[in-house]
Amino acid sequence: MKPYVILSAAMTLDGKIATETGSSNISGEKDLERVHELRKECDAIMVGIGTVLADDPRLTVHKVDASPEDNPVRVVVDSKCRTPIAARITNKDARTIIAGANEYKYEFIVSDRYDTFTKRGVDFFWSGDKRVDLVSLMNYLHEEGIEKLMLEGGATLNFSMIKAGLIDEIRLCVAPMVVGGANAKTLFDGDGYPLMDLAVKLELVDSYLLEKDLILTYKVIK
Ligand SMILES: NC(=O)c1ccc[n+]([C@@H]2O[C@H](COP(=O)([O-])OP(=O)(O)OC[C@H]3O[C@@H](n4cnc5c(N)ncnc54)[C@H](OP(=O)(O)O)[C@@H]3O)[C@@H](O)[C@H]2O)c1
């Protein structure tokens, strides 16, 4: 069993979710409100460690009216437990789970960093050898009561999740901007598929304009 997974992202017309230097303010204010309403509907939000290191997100509901109970559980996919002690995702606003990989577990749990995180209430889940096993993580989160999970990137984790067949829906804000840059992150990076025939197929189920941004909803065809 796994949660229903909605990938939520904002990208430029050329498919970039950040510039080469890591700037990622893409959505308009109305779109941010839409995203925070979606956060409110979800039981958990998950990001990769690359996103935590680049953006230091809070991953709480703060752009729309909300109470502390509306904040979803926050999950960081972080094999080597590189999440900084001061990362905002570990504050007390909501439960935080760091998902690490077994190879790095023992060295980490004898460290001061582990003590600091656990004193702050951060939980850990271990799976996979050198990298987090996303299927096991989804099973665990479902057992923890997470029925709807919002995946908020970034590019590497998005591709691993879709390749593993774990994404059910994609909600995308396409901003009318072009930023270019061969090394700028796109919506899905990772290893990619060698042939178009292997591409994950999608069905467009909704589209509308929100001020200048185009909002698209796709279901993943399984
Ligand atoms: N515009 C948007 O909507 C949006 C949203 C989110 C992020 N972003 C941007 O995306 C960028 C970050 O993307 P990113 O690709 O560098 O990082 P990422 O996808 O956030 O995190 C990737 C990291 O997750 C860890 N990981 C652990 N297990 C994994 C697995 N099974 N599959 C994949 N990853 C796994 C890996 O590090 P370890 O091996 O150390 O575990 C991997 O390097 C930032 O620039 C951020 O601003 C944009």
Q: Give the model confidence (pLDDT) of 51-110 as tens digits.
A: 999 999 999 999 999 999 999 999 999 999 999 999 999 999 999 999 999 999 999 999
The CA-to-CA distance between both ends of the chain, in Å, stands at 16
Average pLDDT, the chain: 97
**Dihedral pair phi/psi, residue 158, rounded to 5°:** -55, -45
Predicted pLDDT at 138: 99
Distance between CA atoms of residues 153 and 49, nearest Å: 10
Q: What is the pTM of this model?
A: 0.98
Ligand 1: list residues with CB < 6 Å.
Answer: 9-10, 17-18, 22, 24, 26, 47-51, 54-55, 77-80, 82, 131-132, 134, 152-157, 160, 185, 189
Going by C-alpha positions, the residue among 180, 168, 169, 161 that lies closest to residue 15 is 180
3-state secondary structure of 92: coil
Distance between CA atoms of residues 132 and 46, nearest Å: 13
Q: Give the model confidence (pLDDT) of 145-162 as tens digits.
A: 999 999 999 999 999 999
Which domain, by its residues, includes 94?
4-220
Number of structural domains the chain divides into? 1
Enter the DSSP assignment of 138.
Answer: H
| Closest C-alpha to ligand 1, atom 3 | 9
Q: Which residues pair with 125 in a beta bridge?
A: 99
Mutate to test the pocket of ligand 1, among 185, 188, 216 (most ligand atoms within 8 A of CB): 185
Mutate to test the pocket of ligand 1, among 12, 103, 156, 216 (most ligand atoms within 8 A of CB): 156
Predicted pLDDT at 162: 98
Question: What's the token pair of residue 106?
Answer: 């023992």
Predicted pLDDT at 132: 98
Distance between CA atoms of residues 209 and 30, nearest Å: 11
pLDDT band at 182 (very low <50, low <70, confident <90, very high): very high
Atom of ligand 1 nearest to the CA of 80: 40
From residue 201, alpha-carbon distances to 35, 91, 165, 171, 220 in Å are: 24, 38, 11, 15, 6
Q: Give the model confidence (pLDDT) of 26-55 as tens digits.
A: 999 999 999 999 999 999 999 999 999 999
Question: What's the token pair of residue 148?
Answer: 């709807």
For residue 157, report the distance from its CA to the centre of ligand 1, in Å.
5
Distance between CA atoms of residues 203 and 221, nearest Å: 7
Predicted pLDDT at 135: 98
Please give the angle made by the CA atoms of 155, 90 and 115, to the nearest 5 degrees: 120
3-state secondary structure of 206: strand
pLDDT band at 1 (very low <50, low <70, confident <90, very high): very high
CATH of the domain at 44: 3.40.430.10
Rounded to an integer, the average pLDDT of 110-127 is: 97
